[in-house]
Amino acid sequence: MVIVFFIACDDSDITKSTLKREPLPRGAVVETGYYTDNIDWIGNRTVLTNGMKSFYKRTGVQPYLYLTDEINGSLNPTNAEVEAFANELYDTLFRDEAHLLLIFFDYRYENDSYHTWYLCGVQAKTVLDTEAMDILLDYIDRYYYYDVSAETLFNWSFDEAGKRIMSVTTSPWVTALIVLGVILGVVTIIVIAFAWWMIRKSQKNKEAEQMQRILSTPLETFGSDEAAERAKKYESGDW
């Protein structure tokens, strides 16, 4: 007997995607670089950008990651200071309204402490609404506390966020029930087929036993007329 286990991935800590979104059309983005690293976190550029390019491919919005531990020399900037900085940086880096600028601020004197700000272009906002950005930030918060490299942290975050943002989240129990239904259907077909085979086999065995009894019965045990009739059948091959 084969036992099948179904394990649903627990994404309860990630914001659900409740909207069907359409990616920006091809050509909306004037492609640029993907990040600025002012804190020397990124060791493998390819690992980082693979996840970001996956996000870009799915959403049509090119993300840009700005890693820093100060804003215009301030180690503890206000939201107003960051907003002004982000707007100026967006205009400096991009020539379209289809980028996402994500500023990741690491508090250098506080362990496990960071802050994020983001700025979406006008076109980018048609895909990356508040719910979509909450999904991305949730993934970053999840993987920030994993024992992985910085480039892996952002690779996973952008890649998985792109997938979730561009689909409507279904309950894992719905998926589990669908899989269970398929499994039960297959098992039912196998049981029915096996039962039919057993019945058919039993019937053939009975027929074979009956034939064997007839063939092993001496003709003399039948009446003369019946024996003669059976002899004719054997000779003619009508039996």
What CATH number should be reported for the domain holding residue 113? 3.10.310.50
Confidence of residue 194 (pLDDT cuts 50, 70, 90): confident
d(CA 125, CA 101) in angstroms, rounded, equals 12
pLDDT at 6: 34
pLDDT at 184: 72
**Based on the domain organization, do 217 and 156 belong to the same domain?**
no
Count the domains in the chain. 2
Domain assignment present for residue 145? The answer is yes
pLDDT at 65: 98
Q: Is the pLDDT of residue 223 over 60?
A: no
Residue 104: strand pairing partners: 67, 116
d(CA 15, CA 185) in angstroms, rounded, equals 33
Burial 4-38 (b: 16+ CB within 10 A, else e): eeeeeeebeebbebeeebebbeeebbeeeebbebe
**Based on the domain organization, do 151 and 105 belong to the same domain?**
yes
Q: Is the pLDDT of residue 171 over 60?
A: no
As to burial, measured by CB atoms within 10 angstroms (0-12 exposed, 13-18 middle, 19+ buried), residue 101 is buried
What would the mean pLDDT of 122-146 be, rounded to a whole number? Answer: 97
**Based on the domain organization, do 114 and 181 belong to the same domain?**
no
Q: What is the pLDDT of residues 97-125, one digit of tens each?
A: 999 999 999 987 777 789 999 999 999 99
Q: Given 109, 140, 165, which residue is the final one in a domain?
A: 165
**Domain enclosing residue 194, as ranges:** 172-236
Domain assignment present for residue 10? The answer is no
pLDDT at 58: 98
Q: Is the pLDDT of residue 72 over 60?
A: yes
* φ, ψ dihedrals at 114, nearest 5°: -150, 170
What would the mean pLDDT of 27-44 be, rounded to a whole number? Answer: 97
pLDDT at 226: 57
Pick the range with the lowest mean pLDDT from 35-44, 142-151, 230-239: 230-239
Mean pLDDT, the chain, rounded, equals 85
pLDDT at 7: 37
Tokens of 182: 């398929």
Higher-scoring residue by pLDDT: 129, 188: 129
pLDDT at 106: 93
Confidence of residue 205 (pLDDT cuts 50, 70, 90): confident
Burial 181-198 (b: 16+ CB within 10 A, else e): eeeeeeeeeeeeeeeeee
pLDDT at 63: 98
Domain assignment present for residue 220? The answer is yes
Q: How many CB atoms lie within 10 A of CB 55?
A: 27
What would the mean pLDDT of 179-184 be, rounded to a whole number? Answer: 68
Percent of the chain with pLDDT over 70: 78
Q: Given 133, 165, 197, which residue is the final one in a domain?
A: 165
Q: Which residues, other chains included, contact 207 with Cβ-Cβ below 8 Å and sequence gap of 6+?
A: none
Q: Given 148, 165, 182, which residue is the final one in a domain?
A: 165
DSSP symbol at 26: T
pLDDT at 221: 55
